[in-house]
Amino acid sequence: MQDVVNQVINTSFGWGWPSWAIALIGYLIVAALLFGIAPFQMLFLTLYERRAIARMQDRIGPNRVGPEGMFQPLADGVKIFTKEDIVPTAADQWVHFIAPCVVVAPTMFMFAVLPWGPGMVPVDMNLGLLFFFAISSVSAVGLMMAGWASSNKFALVGAMRAVAQMVSYEIPAVLSLLAIVLVTGSLSIVELINYQGGLFISTRDVASVPDWGLGWFIFSPVGFLAFIAFFIAALAEGERTPFDIPEADSEIVAGYMTEYSGMKFGLFYLAQYVLNFLLCAITSIIFFGGWQGPGVGWLYAQAITPVNPQGGWVFNVLAGVLGVFYFLTKTYGFFFVMVWIRGAYARLRIDQLMDFGWKFLIPLTLVNIFSAAIWVGLTKWGAADGLAFVEGWSPLVRWAAAFGVTLALNLGAYLFLARIFAQSQDERARQDDDVLEQLTNVA
Amino acid sequence: MTTETQHGSVIVMDRRRGKLRAGQGLLQGLRVVWDHWAGSFRKNDNFSKIHGTFTVEYPEERLPMPQAYRNMPVLLFDDESGHELCTGCYQCQRICPPQVIHITQAKDPVTGKMVPAATEFIIEYDACMSCGFCAEVCPFDSIKMDHVYELSTANRASLTMRKAQLNRSISYYTGIAPGLWAEVQAGAMKKLQGSIKRRPDVIGLAASLTEKIKARRLELAAAAAAAPAAAAVSAPAAPAAPAAKLTPEEKAAKLAAMKAANANKGAAPAPAEAPVALSPADAKAAKLAAIKAANANKGAAPAPAEAPVALSPADAKAAKLAAIKAANAAKQAEAAPVSVETAVATAPLDAKAARLAAIKAANAAKLAAEQGNNE
């Protein structure tokens, strides 16, 4: 964007503005665009979710406002804007007021490092992934503020659950990403996507593989297990069913949102859906190559880039359009999976949630990090690093060996942990029954 | 999937049971939801299937109503004769639990006796509880329960239904409940024939008429517009138009017009004979009144007849209405000259009353003429 602004202002008009002004204008334009896009993502996703879940329940869903219910979110938005804003007298006014902003702001920050297409990233931060997840946990503070300031027991319980859940599931999410970061050797999200060129095998692992933009991490055992763990953790982060315990309406009304009405409630909703969009987006970026797909890499190679200033601008547009198309297709696909899971599973109990996170996901992701280390050793290391025996192997053989070893390790770990976990759950259920029996006998 | 059992066909759902390994149950759950999602793109018309959309998109699609569905009571009238089945027997008014039915029994204007018909029939739909007692108790099968359920309105007063709004043709009722009508048809029609015999004039005719009659009226009005000259000659425009088959109402109007003409004719000779026995002044006045009434009738008649000449069919309808009104006015006028005649013949003291009546008739006729012009 800054290149374009620089081109227009300093080359076309010849005004000779300083580079900081160019940068400021460039970032302002990008920020304005993103602030426009984020709420529209939320509007679209609400409609998308309602339509999809309706289909899963043999219904049709909202299809009255506009063609196929297209303007239903706008109608909802108008409704929520015109609602009365009620602040409980017992509430801590200022904290109650600021909490929605604290929840929404981090989700907006997260767009800063999100690449939409080749070369289309607001800020290519070399700590992108860390930034993304660090910022995402800030919203937990907002949730706690909302729950506490409402001075309502449901809100407080909801906020407690939300924070407990978010903190617990940050760990498996970050641990599963750690495996990927081990493989790529970088925390930059752009670098992460670039790594995923190839055809089922990344070109960085085996250079001879044709680059079809399909060298996604999901095709490696390490990536697959990380994906499963990460997606489950993402469901919990985004407070999606079956982990929507913080706002379990049958138990605690609406959780931390109980005392919110009107647009403040709308802001929580916005934050939630934008967060869900971002989680789907980051899942598609990390494990499914983001904008990577057949054709994008080739198109981008012909485009005007710092590497290739002689390219044609048409290829910039084409690569951008195709890349954004791939990226959004994957993202909405993951959102569909979220809706699908919501349609299929019942809500967990808080203790089941904690058990699952701490006793199953975290050990699994730890094993996965071990697998990632093996993967890196087998595919990248050599005699200099102390792995002399792989020196003579061709890259494909090294890749195959890494694949085999990590697959066996991950599969074994999964089956073993699943068995232990199921046994522990059974044992727990049996103990609960015993306690119940004792209690009934006493009574 | 259906299975035959001892008690008939039973729908059995495939629960996909079996030994599950770690995480397999979750995947099976997803599979079930996926099947529903994939199946929902077509409509489920067979309820033994568990997939497919069940939604009936209401304003566009509606489920067919069962014949015995009941919502609000309506009054039936016969398509052929235009006569209402209701005789004003008050059975429904008596049984109505919320007491929302109000009937006025028709009376013969000449004899003052009760006629088996209702001049007004009101049902307050806003308080009606749709119990259907009225339809059940009606001995003439006149009151029936309608299937229309979209009665929401912002105007509560509009839910007080008068007879004109309650009228439905028998063909309408056979459309919604053919079986139920077939059961009672013979008896109802027999009773109706009996009622018609005892109904003089237009009493008992449905105020709102069927599409057929409306179409006929339009046709007639068009004919009247096409031949204004011919219409202007004779007094009421409508009956004068070439009508192969007249509707009951038109027949009645024509009859009334003829009666009025006869009365005028009768009234005119009477004053001529009067001077023999009466004082000249009173006789003169009576004669004048009679002439005025006749003029008024004449004046009223051409006005609606001329109206349609340059007007569109919609206006022709209004003109037609005016012509009918004029005919009704003429009918009212008819009563007065008759009384003039009798008064003249009997006693001189009554002559004054006769004069008053004649003047009243003239005023009424004039009013009718004005109305005709305005409309």
3 state SS of B10? strand
Task: Give the tens place of pLDDT for each residue, B87-111.
Answer: 888 999 999 999 999 999 888 888 8
Contacts of A343 in chain B (CB under 8 A): 33, 36-37
Average of per-residue pLDDT across A313-342: 88
Of chain A, the percentage scoring pLDDT greater than 90 comes to 14
pLDDT at residue B96, rounded to an integer: 92
Contacts of B29 in chain A (CB under 8 A): 344-345
Both tokens assigned to A267: 């802001």
Give the Å distances, CA to CA, from A119 to A210, A322, A329, A431: 21, 12, 18, 57
Task: Give the tens place of pLDDT for each residue, B173-213.
Answer: 998 888 889 999 898 889 988 888 888 766 777 765 545 56
How far does A114 lie from chain B, in Å, by closest CA?
30
Specify whether the CB–CB gap between A146 and A154 falls below 8 A: no
pLDDT at residue B330, rounded to an integer: 59
Distance CA A50, CA A336 (A): 11
| DSSP per-residue codes, A165-210 | HHHHHHHHHHHHHHHHHHHH----HHHHHHTT-BBSSBTTT-TTS-
* Interfacial A residues in 46-65 facing B (CB < 8 Å): 52, 54-60, 63
Sign of CA dihedral A40, A45, A46, A50: positive
Select the residue from B51, B53, B56 to test the A interface by mutation, using most A Cβ atoms within 10 A.
Answer: B53
pLDDT at residue B271, rounded to an integer: 44
Specify whether the CB–CB gap between B323 and B372 falls below 8 A: yes
Q: Is B54 on the interface with A (CB under 8 A)?
A: yes
pLDDT at residue A330, rounded to an integer: 92
Give the Å distances, CA to CA, from A23 to A16, A82, A191, B44: 13, 38, 22, 58
User: At residue B183, what are phi and psi to the nearest 5 degrees?
Assistant: -65, -35
Task: Give the tens place of pLDDT for each residue, B327-337.
Answer: 676 566 555 44
Length of chain B, in residues: 375
Task: Give the tens place of pLDDT for each residue, A376-389.
Answer: 888 887 777 777 77
Lowest mean pLDDT among A33-37, A181-185, B162-166, B370-374: B370-374
Considering its fold, how many domains does chain B have in total?
Answer: 3
Determine which helix (DSSP H) or strand (DSSP E) holds A361, and give its type and residue range: none
Same domain, B41 and B93: no
Q: Is residue B205 part of a domain?
A: no
Type of residue at B329: A
CB contact under 8 A, B39 and A419: no
3 state SS of A66? coil
User: At residue A27, what are phi and psi to the nearest 5 degrees?
Assistant: -70, -35
Of chain B, the percentage scoring pLDDT greater than 70 comes to 57
pLDDT at residue B163, rounded to an integer: 85
Q: Nearest CB to A344: which of B33, B51, B54?
A: B33
Both tokens assigned to A98: 């600021």
Q: Is residue B210 part of a domain?
A: no
pLDDT at residue B303, rounded to an integer: 44
Same domain, B189 and B281: no
Q: Is residue B22 part of a domain?
A: yes
Same domain, B78 and B170: yes
How far does A393 lie from chain B, in Å, by closest CA?
36
Distance CA A232, CA A247 (A): 18
Q: Is A336 on the interface with B (CB under 8 A)?
A: no
Same domain, B268 and B361: yes
Contacts of B53 in chain A (CB under 8 A): 55, 58-60
First to last CA, chain A: 73
Mean pLDDT comparison of A207-221, B72-86, B270-284, highest-scoring range: B72-86
Q: Residue B52 region, left (φ>0) first, then alpha (ψ -120 to 50), else beta?
A: left
Distance CA B356, CA A214 (A): 107
Q: Is residue B207 part of a domain?
A: no
Q: Is the pLDDT of residue A149 over 50?
A: yes
Same domain, B235 and B287: yes
CB contact under 8 A, B53 and A60: yes
Average pLDDT, rounded, for chain A: 85
pLDDT at residue A349, rounded to an integer: 83
Longest dimension (CA), chain B: 124
Q: Is B20 on the interface with A (CB under 8 A)?
A: no
Specify whether the CB–CB gap between A256 and A166 falls below 8 A: no
Type of residue at B146: D
Contacts of B37 in chain A (CB under 8 A): 52, 55-56, 340, 343
Q: Is B251 exposed, middle or buried (0-12, 13-18, 19+ CB in 10 A)?
A: middle
Q: Nearest CB to B55: which of A60, A343, A415?
A: A60
Higher-confidence residue of B243 and B112: namely B112
Same domain, B154 and B299: no
Same domain, B240 and B364: yes
Both tokens assigned to B158: 């509009």
pLDDT at residue B17, rounded to an integer: 59
Residue A318 domain boundaries: 84-347
Q: Is the pLDDT of residue A129 over 80?
A: yes
Sign of CA dihedral B182, B187, B190, B191: negative
pLDDT band for A11, please (50, 70, 90 cuts).
confident
pLDDT at residue A254, rounded to an integer: 79
C-alpha angle A117-A120-A124 in degrees, rounded to nearest 5: 115
The set of residues, in sequence order, having a beta carbon less than 8 Å from that of B269 and lying 6+ positions away, is none
Distance CA B371, CA B306 (A): 14
Residue B27 domain boundaries: 1-63
Specify whether the CB–CB gap between A365 and A180 falls below 8 A: no
Q: Is residue B204 part of a domain?
A: no
Please report the ipTM that was assigned to this predicted complex: 0.80
Give the Å distances, CA to CA, from B254 to A138, A276, B371: 91, 80, 19
Number of Cβ within 10 Å of residue A349's Cβ equals 11
Same domain, B351 and B272: yes
Q: Which of B63, B93, B112 is the last residue of a domain?
A: B63
Both tokens assigned to A347: 């809500």
Higher-confidence residue of B62 and A306: namely B62
Considering its fold, how many domains does chain A have in total?
Answer: 1
Higher-confidence residue of B121 and A383: namely B121
